[in-house]
A and B are shown apart, each in its own frame.
Chain A
Amino acid sequence: QQPVQSPQAVILREGEDAVINCSSSKALYSVHWYRQKHGEAPVFLMILLKGGEQKGHEKISASFNEKKQQSSLYLTASQLSYSGTYFCGTESAWSGNTPLVFGKGTRLSVIA
């Protein structure tokens, strides 16, 4: 079952912050985040494994709340280059061999 992402779309001005959420009804083993710019390949951002860890990637970080089966992606002091569609992909907890199931994506637009 695919994870649910929210919001579906968001518009930011440069320098503003945003949070993108990814929720699943199933127990999760890992959450993956990708960004896809228009006409380009999706690009890996980070993986979070169960254990409630938080990771950072420049001004983009993420957390994984195992109890809530939810991950949040935090974008701080947004830049024009952050524009794109953000996807979360999840693996269910019972096996690391299950393929990723992706959400529908969150379209982020950063304007000057």
Chain B
Amino acid sequence: ETGVTQTPRHLVMGMTNKKSLKCEQHLGHNAMYWYKQSAKKPLELMFVYSLEERVENNSVPSRFSPECPNSSHLFLHLHTLQPEDSALYLCASSQDRGLPGELFFGEGSRLTVL
């Protein structure tokens, strides 16, 4: 139990589908993140939320749409994805965005786009 829970763990979708990834943290943290992990590539930061406000958007295509309804929940809405978007999507949280603190990661959602 890492304190950060992601669902679903695996997702297969067609390019015309709409789906969502969910992340929930039980640690009382103020910052939440979405990272993309592809084979043979470094972890890529996608979005950062601090106190439910988006503070970072790393040039991510609009087919990825984040939502942070409260400090414990983070969603990543997916629509009209491409096969190259297949990857492991990791959610993470930290106490505060401005401090050099530990990131707590979830186990990830493995996405396959057909």
Residues of chain A whose beta carbon lies under 8 Å from any beta carbon of chain B: 2, 29-30, 32, 34, 39-44, 47, 49, 87, 89, 91, 96-97, 99-105
Contact = CB atoms under 8 A, between A and B. Distances in A.
Nearest to A39: B107
B7 to A, nearest CB: 14
Contacts of B41: 104
A97 B98 contact: yes
20 contacts: A29-B100, A32-B100, A32-B103, A41-B90, A41-B107, A42-B103, A43-B105, A44-B104, A47-B102, A49-B100, A87-B43, A89-B43, A91-B100, A96-B100, A99-B48, A100-B45, A101-B45, A103-B42, A104-B41, A104-B42
Contacts of B102: 32, 44, 47
Given A99-B45, A100-B45, A102-B42, A41 B100 contact: no
Contacts of B106: 41
A40 B108 CA distance: 8
B105 A41 contact: yes
Contacts of A49: 100
Contacts of A29: 100
A100 B98 contact: no
B103 A44 contact: yes
B105 to A, nearest CB: 4
B59 interface: no
B98 A96 contact: yes
Interface string B31-71: 00100000011110100100000001000000000000000
Contacts of B99: 96
Max chain A Cβ within 10 angstroms of own Cβ: one of B43, B48, B99, B108? B43
B108 A30 contact: no
